[in-house]
Structure 1
Amino acid sequence: MFENVKEENVVEQTLGTSKSDVVEVSGELSPTTSIDIDDTPINYLNPNLFDDIKVINKDELDIEKSNENKDQELDELYASTFGDISEHTLIQGRVVGMNDRDVLIDIGFKSEGIIDRSEFDKNDLPKIGDQVEVYLEFIEDAGGNTILSKEKADFMKRWRALKEAFDSEKIIKGKIIRRIKGGLIVDLGVVQAFLPGSQVDVRPIQDFDLYLEKEIELRIVKFNEARKNIVVSHKIILEDSLKEQREALFKELEIGSIMEGRVKNITDFGVFVDLGGIDGLLHITDLSWGRVNHPSEIINLNDKITVKIIEYDQERKRVSLGLKQLTPHPWEDVETKFPIGNIVKGRVVSLTNYGCFIELEPGIEGLIHHSEISWTKHIKNPSEVYSMGDEVDAKVLSIDSDERKISLGVKQLIPDPWDKIEEKYMVGTVHEVKIKNLTQFGAFAELEDDIDGLIHVSDMSWTKIIRHPKEIVEKGQKLEVRILEVSRENRRISLGYRQVTDDPWPELVDYFESGKEVSGEIIRILDKGIITLLENDVEGIIPFGKMSKKDRRNLAGQYEIGANLSGIVMKVSPEDKKVILFKEELAGTIKRTSANDEVKQYLKNQNTGSGEKLELPQELINLASQVEEEVSEKSSEDTESNNEEEN
């Protein structure tokens, strides 16, 4: 079309061109040049206008179209010689050449493909002209070569065959080549598969090495196309073969029937027994009438045993077996075998916080309560005395056949030392003891092996108020004590340390006579008074008079612990181990010219003998009572503080 347009333009230019007159210009006549143009119009209706254009008729057009069709057929014929070739597919090829390194394969492409010669079996090399199926990796590599693979072709052919076997659940054969964690690797011919250890046999395998290099029948149970992973099983084939046998055996089962079987597997909770196609569970509680910690204590793997059918579920295909049910129950004649009062021997099979269980024979156990272990020791836990597996002698205390309980005792094997304790340790006698332990309320002292007595804090000193035993005694110290009380029923002995010496208070009452002025070292300053240590380890109390708390604090601040302070004896209290004193400076705002003189005069006017009770003013008595209460409270606080420090 573009050629025709070009030709028309040429025609138009030709027709539009006319002859022009050439005018000779004389340089003499004029310096300019003039051109005449023919303005004659073109006649487009002139029949001779297109005489110079080539004209093609219909026959010539048909010939040209025929030639174009022939060219297209040749192109298609040429393209068909290459076939349908694409990468990563299996194709057929013909061996056209071979050298020491490569094998040339004609796959119908413009160039031959190359396969490494090592991919062929040395004993089965192809010959020139042989047809082989190959895998096309690359149509052209960087060097322009077509790369083929024989190994990948074999893998894909085998993979397709295994896929068909998986879909049809067909049984195949494979050779076990090596062992790995969790199972075995099987060679299926070019392709390898995984055989889990649990899928080798219907019973657990102890030694997988026995299967190496052996060929066995398998069935593919898992086929992963994406990951090229295959899992096979030999167990599923065996189970299928045992299915009919299992169905027939279930129809013959009866509760109570006796059967023989082989131990197939041992677990923590029981034993699985192969009854010939059916697996039954022999629970650990049905192994023996006695206590069994683990089934392996009684049964070994692959043992042949006789069991009793105690229950079965045909729908769920479960069978419960019993071994102990083959023998009589041991409790049937327990009272005859273990009469009350007899001494028996057993083995410790369990320890609890309340006692230990002794196995007398399989299925019969007795309990030794922790209170029945010793006459004298306080056993908190039997593990302090016994360990698992210890052989123990004990005495039968009681039997309850209905509850299947036997009570045993160990301490009953020896006489009770407390039976003659009152005769051996009579009240009032003095004995040497050893301090074993200190507590807040007193000290435990050992009189003899496993016989202890308690020295209460109140029985440690005649004159001092003891807040903790460590103020007087220490652990391991030996000293003499007096027996104060013996209780065989409660198994308690009360001891006194101060009772070894005479009571000094009758003499102290005479010594600290009323009105006497005494002095001592300040040992405590309280809110309501001051405590001093007088002679003979006696404490004196000087109470504050009636005054505000602020005045008391100010007054107490004038004195220091350790300083010496004097006062007048007002009252002696042996029960409280105290001497009440009076001091004018601490008496407050009492309107007297001389408080000391008045107290002395008051006491002097009392016509009483030494040690007799005086009728003191109520005001002074109230003050003394308040101080005593404060001292008592302070003593309790100090005791608690000491306990916290010890803890």
Structure 2
Amino acid sequence: MNATATATKSKKDSAPSREDFAALLEQSFAEQDLAEGSVIKGTVTAIEKDVAVIDVGLKTEGRVALREFGGHGREHGLKVGDEVEVYLERIENALGEAVISRDKARREESWVKLEEAFNKNEKVEGVIFNQVKGGYTVDLDGAVAFLPRSQVDIRPVRDVGPLMNMPQPFQILKMDRRRGNIVVSRRTVLEETRAEQRQELVQNLEEGQVIDGVVKNITDYGAFVDLGGIDGLLHVTDIAWRRVNHPTEVLNIGQTVKVKIIKINHETHRISLGMKQLLADPWEGIEAKYPVGTRFSGRVTNITDYGAFVELEPGIEGLIHVSEMSWTKKNVHPGKIVSSSQEVEVQVLEVDSSKRRISLGLKQTLQNPWEAFAEKYKQGTEVEGEVKNKTEFGLFLGLDGDVDGMVHLSDLDWNRPGEVAIEDYKKGDMVKAVVLDVDVEKERISLGIKQLGGNPVSSSAAAGGGELKKNAVVTVEVVEVQDGGLEVKLVDGGASAYIRRADLARDRNDQRPERFSVGQKVDARVTSADKKTGKIGLSIKAQEVAQEKEAMEKYGSSDSGASLGDILGAALKQRSDDKSED
């Protein structure tokens, strides 16, 4: 080889051409297997202000903002020479630079780890960094998840500020990589942790154990007491033996109390507590303290639709049923008879120690108004009262002592039906009546209005004088002629009566009402006289039959040869002569 050739070869070995360099560069790209949309490794070559320059083995270096290496709540900690993973978006942009991203690389990496944790039901660490509609966003080392407001804590949290930008565990509830959706829960983690703690604490507690606790929360139905990491419920009925309307009457939040463990549910970890169980039971020997029939003073603590509760002593309450509150106010709400905190005198009606019940009576401490009325107004006494009500049975009158008396339809009028006579009265009328009967046990007072005018049977005199009796002969005046008979009134006494068509004459042909005229006076015989109802039964037929019998006895029977006509003629002549003499 000549010198020229040797020189030429040496020059080629020491200084490769541009074409050789390009070929070597393409070969290097091929060996790295660099593809857009993949995660690749690079080396930090420089840090310029807020940008990191990274060599990923391409023609030119890429630039990534330093904030992408930090994240929420932590510094980037990046230095020259560090090897990092980045996401290659484009090999070369318009400026000839590689377009790379640490966020997208971390996101891709995070999705792989998160899917693995989700499948294994493992917890992941994240940082709450922003508030959105309905909840918050959480950074799971590059992947962004949604935290619903209801999943922040076991109880509603008003201020989430202290939880922001602080690394803490979460449980993945739902993942959808295609849509890029992740839903997480902090509450699930807290409940699981709390359940483990509760289980451990519950195992160290026993029913009947007395322990100190701190009142943590108060509700209408009781108070929650912290027993050192686990809560127990102190129900309002177990705070004291006496009635406690609301726990705040006895307890305050933060107050230290001594309680007794009543019951432990090891499945639900629920603990029932009691305070009154640490005190003596006031119901022991209750029958001896409150014998039936004795009277005590007490305070009204509660009023319901069915009665009122009265505290006889702390822890001992009795019920005055609505039926035992008043003698006269039957359909009135208890709140209109007594009021809360009112001091009342009551009588013990019944004691049941097994059911912890005492039945009390309020009306028993007052005189029975029906007894008082019976003592003051004897039978036959005249009273006056206001018409309270009109019914199909009669009138109800308000009487002395706030009691009512009833005038039955049959006791309204002697001569008219009750249905007719009741129309004369209206509500509010002041009416006089007579006391007919008082039934204290049934709480009934019977009155009569027609009795004020006297009994027609007693007041009407017979033709021969004296009180009306059966078979007495009376003279009546025809008041009205009807198809069925005659409406008449007694000449003496004025009592009304009715003579039926069949009683108008002995002879059937003469039983015609039209034979008589209004104002005509005739004799009739009394067939019935009811003092109670005042009804008088009359019969002209009975009078004729009696006259015939009397004539036959006076003038001889048919056996003497005299005819019936002769006998009747003699009798009528004698009666005519007697009237002429009169």
Normalized against structure 2, the TM-score is what?
Answer: 0.61
Mapping of 1:256-405 within 5 angstroms?
256-264=208-216, 271-292=223-244, 295=247, 298-312=250-264, 317=269, 319-334=271-286, 338=290, 341-349=294-302, 351-353=304-306, 355-379=307-331, 382-386=334-338, 392-405=344-357
Contact 1:365 1:406 survives alignment (8 Å):
yes
How many angstroms does 1:323 deviate by? 1.9
How many angstroms does 1:222 deviate by? 3.1
Distance 1:362 1:309 in 2: 23
Q: For structure 1, which runs of at least 5 residues remain unmatched after alignment?
A: 1-72, 97-101, 519-540, 544-567, 583-590, 618-647
Name which of structure 1's ranges 156-165 and 415-424 shifts more when overlaid on structure 2.
Answer: 156-165
Deviations 1:54-100 (A, max 9, x none): xxxxxxxxxxxxxxxxxxx99x979948946365x54568999xxxx
Distance 1:607 1:463 in 2: 21
Deviations 1:438-477 (A, max 9, x none): 2221121112351221122222223322327761211112
Mapping of 1:421-436 within 5 angstroms?
421-436=373-388
Contact 1:221 1:232 survives alignment (8 Å):
no
- Which of residues 168, 174, 181 is equivalent to 1:217? 168
Contact 2:231 2:271 survives alignment (8 Å):
yes
Deviations 1:380-410 (A, max 9, x none): 6535534666554423345444553323222
SS in 2 for 1:419: helix
Alignment correspondent of 1:231: 185
- Which of residues 396, 408, 412 is equivalent to 1:460? 412
SS in 2 for 1:211: helix
Distance 1:387 1:229 in 2: 57
Alignment correspondent of 1:488: 440
Alignment correspondent of 1:475: 427
How many angstroms does 1:325 deviate by? 1.1
How many angstroms does 1:229 deviate by? 1.8
Alignment correspondent of 1:562: none
Distance 1:210 1:117 in 2: 26
Alignment correspondent of 2:540: 614
SS in 2 for 1:215: coil
Change (3 A) 1:350 1:91: farther
Contact 1:441 1:457 survives alignment (8 Å):
yes
Change (3 A) 1:388 1:83: farther
How many angstroms does 1:131 deviate by? 8.5
How many angstroms does 1:210 deviate by? 6.6
SS in 1 for 2:540: coil
Name which of structure 1's ranges 361-370 and 568-577 shifts more when overlaid on structure 2.
Answer: 568-577
Alignment correspondent of 1:639: none
Question: One-letter code of the match for 2:483?
Answer: I
SS in 1 for 2:284: helix
Question: One-letter code of the match for 1:491?
Answer: E
Deviations 1:13-41 (A, max 9, x none): xxxxxxxxxxxxxxxxxxxxxxxxxxxxx
Normalized against structure 1, the TM-score is what?
Answer: 0.56
Mapping of 1:500-511 within 5 angstroms?
500-502=452-454
Question: One-letter code of the match for 1:569?
Answer: L
Distance 1:78 1:357 in 2: 96
Change (3 A) 1:192 1:579: farther
Change (3 A) 1:334 1:218: same
Deviations 1:174-225 (A, max 9, x none): 35755986x7665555535527667647xx5775457354736324353524
Question: One-letter code of the match for 1:614?
Answer: I
Distance 1:179 1:275 in 2: 37
SS in 2 for 1:467: helix
Residue correspondences, number: 476
Percent of aligned pairs sharing the same letter: 35
Question: One-letter code of the match for 2:382?
Answer: V
Name which of structure 1's ranges 420-429 and 496-505 shifts more when overlaid on structure 2.
Answer: 496-505
Mapping of 1:31-430 within 5 angstroms?
80=30, 83=33, 85=35, 89-90=38-39, 135=87, 151-163=103-115, 167=120, 169=122, 172=125, 174-175=127-128, 178=131, 186-188=138-140, 190=142, 191-194=144-147, 200=153, 204=155, 208-209=159-160, 211-213=162-164, 215=166, 217-220=168-171, 222-226=173-177, 227-233=181-187, 235=190, 238-239=193-194, 242=197, 246=201, 250-251=203-204, 253-264=205-216, 271-292=223-244, 295=247, 298-312=250-264, 317=269, 319-334=271-286, 338=290, 341-349=294-302, 351-353=304-306, 355-379=307-331, 382-386=334-338, 392-430=344-382
Deviations 1:557-606 (A, max 9, x none): xxxxxxxxxxx627789999766579xxxxxxxx97x98588559xx999
Change (3 A) 1:109 1:447: same
Which protein has the larger Cα radius of gyration, Structure 1 or Structure 2?
Answer: 1
Contact 2:476 2:523 survives alignment (8 Å):
no
Alignment correspondent of 1:497: 449
Question: One-letter code of the match for 2:175?
Answer: N
Contact 2:239 2:275 survives alignment (8 Å):
yes
Alignment correspondent of 2:529: none
Contact 1:440 1:468 survives alignment (8 Å):
no
Change (3 A) 1:434 1:299: same
Q: For structure 2, which runs of at least 5 residues remain unmatched after alignment?
A: 1-22, 46-50, 463-473, 503-507, 527-536, 544-582
SS in 1 for 2:259: strand
Alignment correspondent of 1:569: 486
SS in 2 for 1:290: coil
